Amino acid sequence: MKRQIMKQFVLLIPQLFLLSTYLVGQGGLQQAINTFAKDDQFTHASVGISVIEVESGKQIASHEAQKSLLPASSLKVVTTASALAILGEDFTFKTELQYDGTIDDSGTLKGNLYVKGYGDPTLGSSKFDAAMKLDAVMTTLVAAVQKVGIKKIDGMIVGDASYFDSAVSGRTWPWEDMGNYYGAGAWGLNIHDNLYYLHFQQNAKLGVQPKIKFTDPAIPNFTLINEIRSAGKNTGDNAYIFAAPFSYTAFVRGTIPVGSKTFTIKGAIPEPPFLVAHLLMKELEVKGVLTNRIATTQLELEREGYAEKKRTTIKTINSLPLKTIVKETNLKSVNLYCESMLRAIGQKVAGIGSSEEGLKAIYDFWSKKGLKTAGFFMEDGSGLSMRNSVASFHLASIMRLVAKDKTLYDSFYTSLPDAGKTGSLKYMFKGTAAIGKLKAKSGGMSRVRSYTGYARSKSGTLLAFSIIANNFEGSSSTVRKKMEKVMLSMCE
């Protein structure tokens, strides 16, 4: 009997050792969190941290985890995970070339030519090696026109973005964001990441206005009011474009460095559907297809009371699979892609391609998964709105729910930046225990820094976490380094 008891005790020793090691690890993590939260940089700040053990669902370390805070781009994890779950990892967006009316024996189209978008945010993008670039898209569309024998178009070239509603931007987005590339709205018909390049000729003198050279692509009827000034050589890009969707007048304010070269910034295309129609019209003319040189949009036709006619589809362009788009979204933090996913979710669930319906669908999806949404305020899909407010516990909980879903986890997990290797974590955690063990999406705005993702502890336990800080003193880079220590402690 004594031998049996002794044998059981000996067998129990390794388990007790592992448990004690785990508890010590938990204590070290909580201590690291406490030290972080008490830092002088956060005296007037709000800090929320939640670390949840994926298998058990237990929150093993925290600091004001239930406090709703502004997450910035960390919110993208909610949109991308929701899109993979609701739309499916193999979902593809599409774009169709259509015409109404008839084609007569001479090859004249007695009707209009349409480019009908279904929300593809990657059409003509340069971000993907496997996707069609802008020139290739136009060449493909013209080839489809020629293949069906159209030699002349008596009607109009129309960009149709009606698959999504006309509220293309977040309703609470700041004006200072909407004219810049990262604030480009999500249309039913998008092109070239909805951005244009604005090229300046630098000036060698301080305080002098550098001249605007051109935009690429060229945008018809677009007026740029140049209020830029030349600043110090090492000041970088401090130029902002103030504009809104559908607006063809934009103010460019701020500074660019002195110099003698071309300096380039990026702006948001004011009306992508019209630009698609215009570019296609030009390409048709170049390739010998005659047109009336009238480019317009479906929105404009509806405003003028144009009667809808039956259309024939002659070409369909499909996007890359959603899992590929999600990976680019989380690695590069692309706002446009998240906003398009949000509206596509609304379209699938409610038959309305709006951000409001998309948000309702996301709330409903995670609520049914068990998420308590009290204090969870999501205003857009990208995190650009200053009115987004979620608790670190919400984000960590969603990360856990994703990890528990075998059909969802792999595609989502691989999309996140990898410590010391990719995305916003590429230059972090070098030579530490976090390499190969930590993946997270970052978020950053003025006085906002956040990280949300996964860490694997020294014992192999998978942890879901979120860390958010708002309204801190000092630089964002110092906050990042302090957050890095907290995240590293999860792996140690």
The 10s digit of each residue's pLDDT in 333-358 is 999 999 999 999 999 999 999 999 99
Distance CA(355)–CA(336), nearest Å, equals: 12
8 Å CB contact between 116 and 190 = no
Beta-bridge mates of residue 114? 98, 158
pLDDT, average across residues 45-50: 98
pLDDT for the residue 16: 42
Task: State in words which class domain 28-89+323-491 has.
Answer: alpha beta
Label residue 117 exposed, middle or buried (CB < 10 Å: 0-12, 13-18, 19+): buried
Collect all residues with Cβ–Cβ distance below 8 Å to 247 and sequence separation of at least 6: 270
pLDDT tens for each residue of 135-152: 999 999 999 999 999 999
Distance CA(325)–CA(323), nearest Å, equals: 5
Distance CA(107)–CA(149), nearest Å, equals: 6
Distance CA(241)–CA(34), nearest Å, equals: 41
Angle between helices 2-37 and 476-491 (to 10 degrees): 180
8 Å CB contact between 117 and 189 = yes
pLDDT tens for each residue of 264-305: 999 999 999 999 999 999 999 999 999 999 999 999 999 999
Residue 15 has pLDDT above 80, yes or no: no
What residue segments make up the domains of the chain, in order of their start?
A: 28-89+323-491, 92-320
Place of tokens 């003193």: 473
Distance CA(458)–CA(451), nearest Å, equals: 20
Q: 26 pLDDT band (50/70/90 cuts)? A: low
pLDDT for the residue 375: 97
pTM of the model: 0.93
Distance CA(363)–CA(171), nearest Å, equals: 18
pLDDT tens for each residue of 355-413: 999 999 999 999 999 999 999 999 999 999 999 999 999 999 999 999 999 999 999 99
Distance CA(360)–CA(364), nearest Å, equals: 6
Beta-bridge mates of residue 165? none
Share of the chain above pLDDT 90, in %: 93
Residue 2 has pLDDT above 80, yes or no: no
Distance CA(175)–CA(385), nearest Å, equals: 11
Distance CA(458)–CA(441), nearest Å, equals: 21
Of 118, 475, 256, 413, which is closest to residue 422 (Cα–Cα)? 413
Distance CA(80)–CA(55), nearest Å, equals: 22
User: Residue 252 corresponds to which amino acid?
Assistant: V
Q: 24 pLDDT band (50/70/90 cuts)? A: very low
pLDDT for the residue 4: 53
pLDDT, average across residues 194-213: 97
pLDDT for the residue 27: 79
